[in-house]
Each structure stands twice: as C-alpha cells, then as structure tokens.
Amino acid sequence: MGKKNIGQRSCMGCGRKAHKSELLRFVVDRKGDLVFDPGQRAPGRGGYFCRKEGCFDRATKKRRISIRFRRDVRVDLGSLMKNVREQLGGGSSGWPR
C-alpha cells in the first residue's frame, strides 16, 4: 500500500505515468539546453519522456518543458533525437526511426 508509485514519473509530452526505467530522463545544462541523461543520474531537476518522438513534439509545442524546469529551455529536437539514438544504440530500443 502506498508503495506502488515509487519510481513513477510522468512523461512531459503525454502525461503517461511509468516507472522511470521505461522513460528517458533529460536535464537542462548551464546554457539552457535540454540534454539527454542516459544514466538518469545528472544532478538537478529532471524531466521525463516516453520513447516517442511525438511526446517531444507535443511538449515542445505546449512549452511544457520550460514549465517543468521553471525557466526558458532550448530544445534542439534534431540533435537531441540524434544523441538519444546514439546513446541507446540504434533501433533495438524501440526508439522511432
């Protein structure tokens, strides 16, 4: 009782709740850019996404990332997706394209 939510995080795009191991963690660096945190250990506030590009799109359009981090956050979707794909090792992870 009351323990089932441990480790649960919400996706910033669709709001889906899942264990953090199913989600991708991101943090904002000193320059204000959103960066991937593959080890989920970077200090500071983190934000989570499903492994779906659509969730990034939605969060970016609705400014949910800036709201979550309480500051202006730059999101370079192209390079972010590239970095995530490289870190996750290609198509086996379920990441699109």
- Interface ranges with Zn ion (CB under 5 A): 11, 13-14, 16, 50, 55
Considering the complex, what minimum distance in angstroms separates the CB of residue 22 from Zn ion? Answer: 10
DSSP letter at 43 equals S
Contact 56, 80 (CB under 8 A): yes
18 vs 31, which CB is nearer to Zn ion?
18
Considering the complex, what minimum distance in angstroms separates the CB of residue 11 from Zn ion? Answer: 3
Give the residue among 80, 37, 90, 88 at the shortest CA–CA distance from 60.
Answer: 80
30 vs 97, which CB is nearer to Zn ion?
97
1 vs 20, which CB is nearer to Zn ion?
20
Considering the complex, what minimum distance in angstroms separates the CB of residue 31 from Zn ion? Answer: 25
Contact 53, 96 (CB under 8 A): yes
Backbone angles phi, psi at 93, to 5 degrees: -85, -5
Pairing between strand 8-10 and 17-19?
Answer: antiparallel
Considering the complex, what minimum distance in angstroms separates the CB of residue 30 from Zn ion? Answer: 27
